[in-house]
Amino acid sequence: KLTMGAVPAAMMMPSVNDDDPEPIGGAYRGATKNGLRHGVGEYVYANKYFSYKGDWMKGLKHGKGKLTMGDGSVYEGEFALGEIDGWGTRTWPSGASYSGQFYQGEMNGTGTLVSPDGTHFEGEFASNMKHGRGREMSADGSVFEGEYEHNKRVDGSLTAADGSVYTGEWVEGEKQGRGRQDFADGSSYEGSWVQSKFHGPGRFVIRADAGESLAYDGEWEDGRPLQVAASMVFDGVVGAPAAAVEPAPGQPPALPTAPSFKGKSKKDAKAPPPEEPAEPSEKRVTIVPGGALPPLALTCLDEAGDPAASESGRLVHVLLRRYEVPAEPAAAVAEKKGGKRAGKVAELPAAPAVAPELVEEVFIASGRTEGGRLLLEDAVVPLDLRPSTSDKECELAFVDATALEDGEITVLPPALQGTASPCTVLEPPPAPPAAAEDEGAPSEEQFE
C-alpha cells in the first residue's frame, strides 16, 4: 500500500541496466547485428528474475518493450540505452499501478499513481516520490490539490468527503502553519495550526441564529480556545438615570412628583435634597412603559472572572420577570411593629422561607455582544406593562439566547449562565388630552 512516506520497496524498480553484449547463461531469441542483440527480440536473464521482449539496439534495450519481473510486476513502455526511460506503465501484483514518465528506472516527471486502496494521484514525481504539483483523490473521498515535497504535502487545499475544505500550509503531512478550514456544518477557522489542530492566534466562527454567527478571535492551544466565556454580569445603567429617559414619540414627558407634606406643616417640612445624578454602575433599572429603555451594559466573563474579550456575537435577550412575593411571616411583621416586644414573638418557630413565584415574563429587547460586551441602546419599553407595586416584584433578566445550529464543532459553549437586575416599572405617562372642538368656528352646516 502506498503511504504518504517513501514508496514501498515492493514498488521500487530494480536495476535492469545489466545488458551484456556477450550474455552468459541467459537465453536470447531474436534479431542480431554484428553479434549483438539488435532489432526485436526476447531475452531471459541468467538470474531468471527478469525477462524482456521488445526493441534492442547494439546489445541494449532501446525503444519500446515489456519487462517482466519475478515478483509479478510488469513494466511496459519506453527504454533508452538499457534503462527504463521515457513514458511507460508499471503494474504490481498488489493492484497498484503507475503510468507516466520514468528516468533511469524511477518514476520521474508527470504521471498517475493508483494505490491498492484506490487512492489516485496525478501530478509530478521525482526519484519515485510525489514531488511538485499534484492532485490526490483518496479512497475515503477526500481530494488534495497542491504542492508536495518528498511525498509530503507542503501547501494546498484538502476537500473532505463531507464537503469541508482546508486551504493552507502543511508540514510532514499535517496541517501546520497558516491555514483556513471551512467545515461542512457552516463553521470556519482561520489562523495558526500545529499538527492539524488549532494552535496559536486564530478566529473561529460558528453559525447560529439563521445567518448570524458566534465568533472567537484569540489564542488557541491544542485545538481549544484559551479564554471561553462562562457567564454574564450586568454592569449597570449607562449615563442618565432611567427615570430621566425621554418618552417615546407622541407621548408627553412624565410630570415631576410634588413633595409630600402629609403629617407636617409646610413650615416644618424641609425641601427634599437635590437629586444626585445616577452613577454609570447603577444596578436598579427604572423603566417607563412606552418610553425608551435606558442604555444598559453587560459583560461576558470567563471562568476566572475576567472579561472574555475574544468572543463576539452572542444573542442576549432582556426579559422583564414579575414575581408574586409571598407575605412576610407573622413573627417578622410583629418584630417590625412591636420593637422590644418583638422578643416575645421571636420565640415562635420561624416559618420556612417561600421563594417568589414567577407569574409573568415579557420580552423587552435584545442585542449581540461585541468583544465580550453588550451595550444595549435605542430600545423602546412595551407600552402595556403594569407598574410594579414593590421593589421585589420585578427584575430584568439577561438571558443567553444564542441558538447554535447542529454541527460537529463544539469548542464554544452553547449557552452562558445569565444574570438579572432589580427593576422598577413606573406608571405610564398620561395620554395627551383630545383636542377640544373650537366653539367659535362655524359648523359644517353653518359653513354651507
Q: Could you read off the pLDDT of 8-54 as tens digits, one per residue?
A: 444 554 444 445 544 556 889 999 999 899 999 999 988 878 899 99
The DSSP line for 236-283 is: EE-SS-GGGPPBPTT-PPPPPPPPP-TTS-TTTPPPPPPPPPPPTTB-
DSSP 127: T
Distance separating alpha carbons of residues 221 and 318, to the nearest angstrom: 34
Indicate whether 171 pLDDT > 50.
yes
**Of 209 and 283, the one with more pLDDT:** 283
Q: What is the mean pLDDT of residues 419-445?
A: 73
Distance separating alpha carbons of residues 217 and 205, to the nearest angstrom: 8
Question: Is pTM, for the whole model, over 0.75?
Answer: no
Q: How many CB atoms lie within 10 A of CB 11?
A: 21
- The set of long-range contacts for 64-72, using a CB threshold of 8 Å and a minimum separation of 24, is 67/16, 69/14, 71/10
- Quick one: what percent of the chain has pLDDT higher than 70? 73
- Quote the pLDDT of residue 354: 72
Indicate whether 416 pLDDT > 90.
no
Task: Enumerate the β-bridge partners of residue 156.
Answer: 146, 168
Indicate whether 271 pLDDT > 80.
no
- Quote the pLDDT of residue 399: 92
Q: How far is C-alpha 10 from the geometric centre of its chain's CA atoms?
A: 44
Mean model confidence pLDDT for the chain: 80
pLDDT by residue (tens digit) across 64-110? 999 999 899 999 999 999 999 999 999 999 999 999 999 999 999 99
Indicate whether 336 pLDDT > 80.
no
- Quote the pLDDT of residue 97: 96
